[in-house]
Amino acid sequence: MGLFAERHTFMQELGPADRAALTGLGTRRVWTAHETLLAEGEHTTFAVVLLSGWCAVWTATERGGRLLLALRQTGEVVGDMAALDGRPRSASVSALGEVSGLVVPGERFRRFLAARPHANALIIGQLAERLRSADHERRALASMTVLERLSERLVELAARTGRVENGEVTLRVSLAQHELAASVGSTREAVAKALRLLREQGLVRTGPGSLAIADLEPLRLLASGKRHGGRDGG
């Protein structure tokens, strides 16, 4: 668990009839890269079903930075908490690239869930998984070094978005250093230092807008608190 809470998305798990019914309730919209779909604190209640692309869920820190809470992909729903309870948005959601989505008014979304028990159960399960993921992240922040948290994040990104190319695992969703830092609750400088250690050991290779992992197993060991090659970090 971590940035990705669900193995199977909400839309994947819906039956054809439920999927068609939900699609008929909303309006399609396209967002460009870095555009905000939802803003933390705003008083809106619509939900967005992601039809294509990736989004980042983040919250502002007291020092003016960002903490990256999650990544959401095609088939997932964002904004569902405010749609259900009517309270201000608890986090912001921004497009990582071009994103298309189905904007469903909160009242319609609630009526849809009330009339569709399977869809309602899926949303409850989704919320439970996200809470478990949040609990894991809080434990990681309290007990793991930056190097350990970064290693865990890279293993997670490889498992969920990686593709094998020339013996390496290239990340399809490649986060910039400041985004990686936001995802592990650290500074850009600390993450740059940790990445340098991983590059020196030949575990990762970085380039403009790209990151490839040469060997996942040492990263798994680092994420579990074990050192690779006798080096420390974080």
Q: Tell if the pTM clears 0.75, that is, is over it.
A: yes
Q: Report the chain's mean pLDDT, rounded to a whole number.
A: 88
Mind listing the pLDDT tens digit for each residue in 198-212? 999 999 998 887 889
Categorize the per-residue pLDDT at 127 as very low, low, confident or very high, splitting at 50, 70 and 90: confident
Residue 207 belongs to what H/E stretch? Answer: strand 204-207
Q: Is the pLDDT of residue 230 over 60?
A: no
pLDDT of residue 7: 66
pLDDT of residue 195: 92
144-224 belongs to CATH 1.10.10.10 = yes
Q: Is the pLDDT of residue 155 over 80?
A: yes
pLDDT of residue 234: 43
**Percent of the chain residues past pLDDT 90, beyond the cut:** 58
Pair 129, 65: CB distance under 8 Å: no
What DSSP character marks residue 224? T
Fold of 10-141: Jelly Rolls (2.60.120)
Nearest CA-CA partner of 59 in 41, 83, 76: 41
Pair 179, 186: CB distance under 8 Å: no
Inter-axis angle of helices 146-161 and 188-200, to 10 degrees? 70
pLDDT of residue 132: 83
The residues spanned by each domain of the chain are 10-141, 144-224
Mind listing the pLDDT tens digit for each residue in 176-206? 888 888 888 888 999 999 999 999 999 999 8
pLDDT of residue 174: 66
Same fold, 10-141 and 144-224: no
